[in-house]
Structure 1
């Protein structure tokens, strides 16, 4: 179409086995699950693939499990994009204007 779209920040990109994974894509899929209120994706170090996807999730429903999230993502994403780790939090760190602070999740 001749248009260039910026979908995420380069510094937030996750590199899984040589493939670029945009956190935004993973977050959109995870957020489609009815029991997910908020979600953030980051890359965490991995010995074999360089990085793997980790999700931080604020639940709408406390019965939501990591396995359910991973299964949901597996049905909508290519294998290397599927999160390997899921951590549930009461809230996600944000800036004053409401943007999620991924750098704080990495620490």
Structure 2
């Protein structure tokens, strides 16, 4: 679908909106500062969260399939005391990155 308010990975507009509203609520409840960024990739824009102080060593947290960056939110506070967290929404999953879902039979995720 070409409608940006309804990415093709969702079964309904209501489902898409519910996930985005939950994402907003979860970010608002965090007790630590969070920055939201988008970076361009060959597969579309990738959303990532950055938490913690910039002078700490970076730690990249990747979520499993069928999840998003916020699956790590219960660990954000403890981990950010020691690391600068970089937490992307993997492309094609129910987060804020592009909705193009690469084939699992290809090496597209490796090049993402």
Asked if TM exceeds 0.5, the reply is: no
Q: TM-score, normalised to structure 2's length?
A: 0.29
Q: Which has more strand, going by share of residues?
A: 1
Specify which structure has the bigger relative contact order, considering alpha-carbon pairs within 8 angstroms and separated by 6 or more residues.
2
Highest CA radius of gyration, 1 or 2? 2
Q: TM-score, normalised to structure 1's length?
A: 0.30
